Amino acid sequence: MLTVKQHELLCFINDRLNETGVSPSFEEMKDALDLKSKSGVHRLISALEERSFIRRLPNRARALEIVKLPDAVKAKTKPGKSADVVTLKPKTALPPVANDVLEIPLHGRIAAGLPIEAMEGQTSLSVPAALLGPGEHYALEVSGDSMVEAGILDGDYALVRKADTARDGEIVVALVDESEATLKFFRREGTMVRLDPANRAYDPQRYKPNQIRIQGKLAGLLRRY
């Protein structure tokens, strides 16, 4: 059995998903249930998730999926059906709406100049879904000016699609000697790997292939003003 508040929240989320296809915000849930703080919403969401009534969709902000509903909510059941809950068939995934937002990991700063340490801890960054394509992504804050002629400025957020290989001419995140990372154009030069800047004030960097590990390809940029 659900508590009154759990039942109310489940109904509210279900109604909103049916109306708009988008989960309500925690602020909207708080107001709808007349709660004093969003911490109460978090507790209710966790309780519904533990009992498998809802599911959180990974790497997406405000993304909840209804897994099952009590009979009292799912009124349109077949005659004679007396189960306590009705399990819903998974819906066909819809393409992200224009204002859909994804949460992707934000891994520290990356050099667009000489290599510096990257992957300094982990937080997250909210990114419009329209900026990302298929695959798994993460973000890095750009430090330096060696990629300015490619439109990549100091302080930008590089949106990176995870990959471990690259073609000549692609902008990659390259880990150098397993300790430092840089954002550069990737090129092969004989038996060496060349990382090219996009700023004539900087020289290309050349490494042996075993010194370089590709960690992703540039998929987009996010700039804050």
CA dist., res. 147 & res. 151, Å (int) = 7
Burial group, residue 139, by CB count within 10 angstroms (0-12, 13-18, 19+): buried
d(CA 215, CA 176): 10
Eight-state DSSP code of residue 153: -
For the record, the structure tokens of 147 come out as: 């990629």
Distance from C-alpha of 44 to C-alpha of 40, rounded to nearest angstrom: 6
CB count within 10 Å of CB 187 equals 17
Look up 39 and say whether it is catalytic: no
Length of the chain in residues, anyone? 225
Q: Name the active-site residue from 46, 146, 179, 217.
A: 146
Is the separation of the CB atoms in 183 and 95 below 8 Å? no
Residue identified by tokens 């890095």 is 140
CA 190 to chain centre: 37
Q: Estimate to the nearest angstrom the gap between the alpha carbon of 222 and the chain centroid.
A: 13
Catalytic residue among 23, 30, 143, 184: 184
Judge contact between 181 and 110, C-beta under 8 A.
yes
52 labelled catalytic:
no
Strands 123-128 and 137-143 come out as unpaired
Residues annotated as catalytic (active site), given as ranges: 146, 184
